[in-house]
Amino acid sequence: MKPPKTTAADAVRQFIVGHDDEGVRLDRWFKRHLTEVGFATVSRWARTGQIRVDGKRADVDTRLSAGQTLRVPPGGALPPGLGGARERTPLTDEQIAQVEAMVLTQDRAAIVLNKPPGLATQGGSGTFVHVDGLLDAYAAENGPRPRLVHRLDKDTSGVLLIARTPGSAAYFARHFAGRGARKIYWALVVGIPPINDGMIELPLSKQPGTGGEKMMVDESGAGQTARTRYRVIDRAGNRAAWVELQPLTGRTHQLRVHMAAIGHPIVGDGKYGGQAAFLTGTISRKMHLHARRLVIPHPEGDTLDVTAPLPEHFATGIEQLGFTESDGDLLLLAPTPKDPRVAEKRAARAHSKDIRRERKGERRKRGEEPASPKPARKPLRKVVDKTVGKAGKVLGAPRAKLPAKPAGKPLGRPVGKPAGVPAGKPVRRPTGTAPRPPRGPR
């Protein structure tokens, strides 16, 4: 982020969109850099045309590009650090150990984490420790800062995808938005669903009076479409069931609201299930919802298919209810076969990129050291051909001067006569050709 042209809070400010914000939505940009400006204010500014991107009006869902000029109306003070280069967040030894323990797999495009329950994905009111605040630990030296492309609830554990570069972030975001990503969750629910393999289609909207922190089923026509497929993996009598959930849409708290709406809340989800969401006995009161598996296309051509192990309280709950964890891996979605040719191409591209990076360090700036003298070239041997060309030129020798034409004679051949025919003589047609018929009256 480059320094703003005006820093006063009571004046119009202009910012230059940095490379770390390539492809980010306008409202997300404000949430990153102007946290004191709420979403309602941003929406009002956009609706009234007070926010401009390169001089043009912009909506809250406008995608920004690096280098664009963002005009922000007066209101709020600049947060510390916005005027200069972004400093990396210092991490403690405990946080570094936590960061390293969460990694399931990583490559040049993505980092896949196993988020523990109780750790928020992003910061908010009163939330200071979150995954987004730990991403500096994964950033390469002088490289872009990794960024989130989707999120999990604070009490939900499991697979969380992080993009390493702005390009891979835009790629993954398109597949999440276009439903190209397959997400599979495991959950323990209270009671037994009447159908072993079913579909829940109930529209959702924000519950009034909760500030958007809670969702509800809204069948008035104003709710957003939400669909969830579920499958019962096993059951513990009539007490609880172990289910597999596949969200076909990406609404906030969708799985939790849908399961509570059909009368089988997720174990430990007191927000939507109330006291009925807690089982008696030794079952943990933590929420038993786990993002087990994520399958999504990879920017380099193959498929990213990652499975996250269960947290301790979930694994203990399955064991106490008499379930076998291996039974849940008999999923409807078969494992994605890996094409060895794609892996070879990826390794070749990575090797080429490493070579280019090494050679880039060998380049010297102009004038840093005197350039080494170039070796003298050997003189080319001239072969003179004494053959005279049609234009009187001796090949291999200087061009001969043609004699000047005498004055008074016309240059070129006469108009209307073929070349080589003296002027004044009739032109004879070749034998065997018929004369042209006379032109008739018009």
Q: Give catalytic residues, as residue numbers.
A: 153
Contact (Cβ atoms closer than 8 angstroms) between residue 317 and residue 283: yes
Q: Is 119:130 a contact under the CB 8 Å cutoff?
A: yes
How far apart are the C-alpha atoms of 304 and 346, rounded to whole Å? 13
C-beta separation of 186 from 255 below 8 A: no
Contact 290, 269 (CB under 8 A): no
- Asked whether 302 and 349 are in contact (CB, 8 A), the reply is no
